[in-house]
Amino acid sequence: MNLALSIREYRTAIILTALGIGLVIAILLSLTIGAVSVPIADVAIIILQKAGLFQNIAVDSMHEVVLSTIRIPRIVMTILIGAALGVSGASLQGLFRNPLVEPSLIGVSGGSAAAVVIMIVFGGFVIQADGWMYTILLPVLAFAGGITATFTVLRLSNQTGRTNIAVLVLTGVAINALAGAIIGLAIFYADENQLRTFTFWTLGDLGGATWDKLMIASPLLILSSAGLIFFSPTLNALALGEAEAYHVGVDVEYTKRVVIFLSALAVGVSVSLSGMIGFIGLIVPHVIRVSFYADNRLVLPGSVIGGALLLVLSDIVARTVVSPSELPIGVVTALIGAPFFIGLLMNAKRKNEL
Amino acid sequence: MYQASNISFRVRDKIILRDINLSIEPGAFTAIVGPNGAGKSTLLKVMAHEHTEYHGDVTINGKAARNYSPKELAWVRAVLPQTTTVQFTFTVEQIVMLGRHGHKATQKENAAILDEVMSLTGIDHFRERNYLTLSGGEKQRVQLARVLAQVWEETVYPRYILLDEPTSSLDIAQQQLIFSLAKQVCERNIGVMAIIHDLNQAVQFADHLYFLRGGKIVASGEAQQVFTKSNIEETFCCRVNVYHDPCNNCPYIIPERTMQQPLSISSKR
C-alpha cells in the first residue's frame, strides 16, 4: 500500500500520539523539578510502585512523600484542568462557529469565580470553612455560577429561536463585567485572609491540589471532557452553519444545550479547583487548527492533550522561575501563550489560512 | 411524493405564505419562480422543515415532516442554500463528507459515494484543497457534491433535493452545469425542487413550474404549458414577449424595454 496514502489515513492518530508522547515527557519533567529535585528513575519507579509493580526496589522515602502527597495530585489536577479548558474552548468555538469564543467570553469563568468568591467571603456565616461540606459545595457552586451566567448570556442572545452571535459576544462582555463587579464587591467585604485568595481566583493557582478535592472533581472533569469529544463529528457539521447542519441531520438545539452544559460543567469545576486560568481555552484549539487542520475529530481530542500539555509546561515555569515562591499560573499561560500564538497567527495569515 | 398542503406562514402579523399547495415528484424537476419577496425562500424553508411554525401539512413519502427526527429528514431530503460560509479551514473532501453525517454507513461505503459524487461534479482533482481558497463556482459545486452525497444511496423510498437559488452568483457556464447535474440526478429516484431566478433557465430544466407572488401561487403546471406571457406578466409585473427556441425546443422570454413605470397589477397583499 502507498505510504503517503496510509499516512493520510492515520494522520489524526499520528498527531494525537505525538502530542501524547510530548505530554508524557512534560509530566515526567514536571515531577522531577521543584524545591526537592527527584531523579527521573525514582519518579518512574514510584509511579510503577503505585501501580503495584517493582515493590522490592527501595526509593528515598522523602522523594516518595513529595511525589505522592504534593506533586502527583498537583500534576493530575493540572492535566485534568488543562484538558477540560482546552476541550471546552474547542467545543464552544466549533459550536458558535467563531474562533474568538472562549469559555470566559460566554460568562462561564466569570460566573463560576463570582459564585466561589461570594461563597468564600460570605459562606463562613453559613457553614464551617474547611469542612467536608465546603469541599463539596465549592465545585457545585462554581458550576451553578458558571451555568447561570452562560444561560443568561444565551437567553439574552436568543433571537426567534436562534443564537445571534454578535449579541452573544456583547452580552458575554456585559455579564463578565457584572461578574467582575460582584467579585470586587465581595473583596470589599473580605478580611485580610480572604483578600490573599483574590489573586488565586482571578489569576489561577494549581497549588491547592489534594486527593480529597480530586476525588470529587476528577470524575466530573473526565466525564464532561469525554462527553464533549463525542460531539466532534456534529461540530464538524455545524461548521457549515446551523441551518445546513440541521439539513444534514443534526439536532441543533439539543447539541447547543448539551455542549454548553458540558463546557460549563468542565470550566466551572476547573475554576472551583484552580481559579480562573485564561488563554488555554482560546489558543490551544487554534494552535491545533493552524498547525494541522480544522477537522474537529482532531481538534477536540488534540485540545484535550494540548491543553494539558500547555498547562503542565506553564506550571513548570510558574514553579521554577521565582522558586521557592510561585508565579500565578494565569500569568505564565499568557506569557508563554501570547507570543507563540501571535507567531502562529502571522504564519497562518501569510498562508491565507484564516 | 413531497407534498405541501394548505401551507400558511406568518411572522408576527405579516403573512408570508398563504394557502400554498405544492408537490415534488420523484424523478422530476420542479421549479419555483417569482419576484423578490414573493416568499420563495420561506417556502423552501418550510418544505425543509427548517421553519416549523407553519399552518398546514408538509408530508414526505406519506409521512408528516413533523414526525421525522432531524436525522430521518436528512435521509430523505437534502438542501443546497444560495451560499454556504464555512468558518474554519476544511478540505473539499471533508466538506463533501459532511453530507454523510446522518448516515450509518461504513467508511468504505462512504468513500465510494464520495468518489462518485465528486467525479460527477468535477471536483475530484482538487479534493485535498482548502475549501476557503476555491472560487465561487468551485465552492458551489463542492456544496452540490455534499448535497448529492447525502441522498446518493439507492433506497426503496424516493429522496429529494431542495435548491435555493443555487446559481445566484455564478457565471452562465457554472449555472448550466449545476442545473444539468440536478436534472441528471433525477434519474436516481430523486425529486428536485429549485428556486430559479432566470425564467429561461427555469423553463429549460423544469418539468413542473410554480409561479409565486405575494405568498400565493399564481399559476402552476407542466412547465411549457404555464410558461405564458400572461402568467409571467401577472407574476412579475413586467411586460415580456415569449418566443420559441427551435434548438432547445423550448420557449424563452425577452422583457420589453420600457420607459414607463412598472406595470402595476392590483397590489392586493
- The H or E element spanning position A204 is none
With CB atoms and an 8 Å threshold, state whether B101 touches A250.
Answer: yes
Please give, rounded to a whole number of angstroms, the shortest distance from the CA of B69 to a CA of chain A. 8
Do A313 and A336 meet the contact criterion of CB atoms below 8 Å apart? yes
How much is the average pLDDT of A176-192? 84
In whole angstroms, give the CA distance from residue A25 to residue B200.
67
**B193: contact with A, CB 8 A cutoff:** no
Lowest-pLDDT range of A145-154, B71-80, B134-143, B206-215: A145-154
Helices then strands, each counted (H, E), chain B:
9, 12
- The reply to whether B93 falls in a domain is yes
List the strands of the sheet with B190-195, edge to edge. Answer: B77-80, B159-164, B190-195, B29-33, B208-213, B216-222
Answer yes or no: is pLDDT of A176 > 90: no
Nearest CA in chain A to B97: A237
In a domain, B260, yes or no: no
Determine the Cα–Cα distance for residues A30 and A319; give it in Å rounded to an integer: 9
pLDDT confidence of A160, banded at 50, 70, 90? low
With CA atoms as reference, the chain B residue closest to A236 would be B98
- Of B70, B87, B103, nearest to A97 by CB-CB distance is B87
Determine the average pLDDT of the residues in A116-132.
70
Q: Which positions ≥6 away from B195 have C-beta within 8 Å?
A: B31, B32, B33, B40, B41, B44, B163, B164, B165
Say if B267 falls within a structural domain. Answer: no
Could you tell me if residue B77 is inside a domain? yes
Q: What pLDDT does B269 receive?
A: 44
Closest in B86, B89, B95 to A293, CB measured: B89
Task: Give domain status of residue B146, yes or no.
Answer: yes
A352 touches chain B (CB under 8 A): yes
Determine contact, residues B31/B226, Cβ cutoff 8 Å.
Answer: no
Has residue A354 got a pLDDT over 60?
no
Beta bridge partners of B191: B160
Of B70, B87, B150, the CB nearest to A246: B70
Cα gap A187→A196, rounded to integer Å: 10
Which one-letter DSSP state was computed for residue B130? B
Whether residue B262 is contained in a domain is answered as no
Residue A1 clears pLDDT 50, i.e. is over it: no
Q: Residues 6 or more apart from B79 whose CB is under 8 A from it?
A: A243, A244, A247, B44, B48, B50, B147, B161, B162, B163, B164
Residues in A closer than 8 angstroms to B96, CB to CB, are none
| Closest residue of chain A to B80, computed from CA coordinates | A244
* C-alpha dist (Å) from residue B262 to A244, B217, B239, B241: 37, 21, 9, 15
Q: Are strands B159-164 and B190-195 parallel, antiparallel or unpaired?
A: parallel
Pairing of strands A158-159, B77-80: unpaired
Answer whether A248 sits within 8 Å of B95, measured CB to CB.
no
* A-chain residues near B75 (CB < 8 A): 249
| 246-265 in chain B: CB under 8 A from chain A | none
- Give percent above pLDDT 90 in chain A: 27
Q: How far is A348 from chain B (nearest CA, A)?
A: 11
Q: Does B74 sit within 8 Å of A248, measured CB to CB?
A: yes
- Angle value at C-alpha A183, between A178 and A188, nearest 5 degrees: 125
CB contact under 8 A, B89 and A289: yes
What is the C-alpha to C-alpha distance for residues B176 and B173, in angstroms, rounded to an integer? 5
Report the DSSP beta bridge partners of residue B55.
Answer: B8
Q: Indicate whether B138 belongs to any domain.
A: yes
The CA distances from residue A307 to A22, A84, B11, B251, in Å, are: 12, 8, 45, 63
- The pLDDT value recorded for residue A125 is 64
Chosen for mutation from B79, B84, B89 (greatest number of chain A CBs closer than 10 Å) is B89
- Asked if B130 reaches chain A (Cβ–Cβ under 8 Å), the answer is yes
* H-run or E-run covering A23: helix A11-32
pLDDT in tens, B161-181: 999 988 887 888 889 999 999
Q: Is the pTM of this model over 0.90?
A: no
Say if the Cβ atoms of A247 and B50 lie within 8 Å.
Answer: yes
Total CB pairs under 8 A between chain A and B = 81
Place of cell 424595454: B257
Handedness of CA A16, A18, A19, A23 (dihedral sign): positive
Q: How far apart are CA A115 and CA A261, in angstroms?
A: 17
Inter-chain contact B101–A97, Cβ cutoff 8 Å?
A: no
Our count of domains for chain B comes to 1
What is the extent of the structural domain holding B187? 2-255
CATH assignment of the domain containing B157: 3.40.50.300
Say if residues B191 and B25 touch (Cβ distance below 8 Å).
yes
Candidates A248, A293, A294; nearest CB to B99: A248
Instruction: Write the CA distances from A352 to B93, B114, B133, B176, integer angstroms.
Output: 19, 27, 8, 31
Encoded amino acid at A248, one letter: V
CA dihedral B40, B44, B49, B54 (to 10 degrees): 20
To the nearest whole angstrom, how far is the Cα of B147 from the nearest Cα of chain A?
8
List, in sequence order, every residue forming a beta bridge with B15; answer none if it has no partner.
B10
Chain A residues 224-243 with CB within 8 Å of chain B: 233-234, 236-237, 239-241, 243
Q: Which domains does chain A have, with CATH numbers?
A: 73-350 (1.10.3470.10)
- Please state, rounded to an integer, the average pLDDT across all residues of chain A: 83
Q: What angle do CA A78, A84, A88 make, to 5 degrees?
A: 150
Question: Cell 463570582 belongs to which residue?
Answer: A114
Looking at beta carbons, which residues of chain A come within 8 Å of B78? 247-248
CA distances, A18 to each of A11, A25, A46, A229 (Å): 10, 11, 25, 18
Instruction: Choose the weakest-confidence range: A169-178, B1-10, B32-41.
Output: A169-178
Per-residue pLDDT reduced to its tens digit, A212-268: 888 888 999 999 999 999 999 999 999 888 889 999 999 988 898 899 889 888 988
Torsion of CA A91, B69, B150, B183, to 10 degrees: -140
Q: A220-234, A315-329, B18-32 — which is least confidently predicted?
A: A315-329
**Greater pLDDT, A33 or A308:** A308
CA distances from B121 to A162, B81, B142, B148 (A): 33, 17, 8, 9
Cβ separation of A251 and B70 shorter than 8 Å?
Answer: yes
Bigger pLDDT: A261 vs A323: A261
Neighbours of A339 (CB within 10 A): 10
- Which residues in chain B have Cβ-Cβ distances shorter than 8 Å to A233? 101
Mutate to test the interface with A, among B98, B129, B130, B132 (most CBs of A within 10 A): B98
Domain annotation covers residue B264: no
Neighbours of B222 (CB within 10 A): 11
**Which residues on chain B are in Cβ contact (under 8 Å) with A252?**
70
Cα–Cα dist A208/B138, whole Å: 55
Arithmetic mean of pLDDT, A299-315: 95
Of A233, A247, A252, the CB nearest to B79: A247
Q: Do A251 and B88 touch (CB under 8 A)?
A: no
Touching check for A297 and chain B: CB below 8 Å?
A: no
Higher pLDDT, A249 or A41: A249
Q: What does the alpha-carbon distance between residue A175 and residue B153 come to, in Å, rounded to a whole number?
A: 48
Give residue-wise pLDDT tens across range A56-77: 777 778 888 888 888 899 999 9
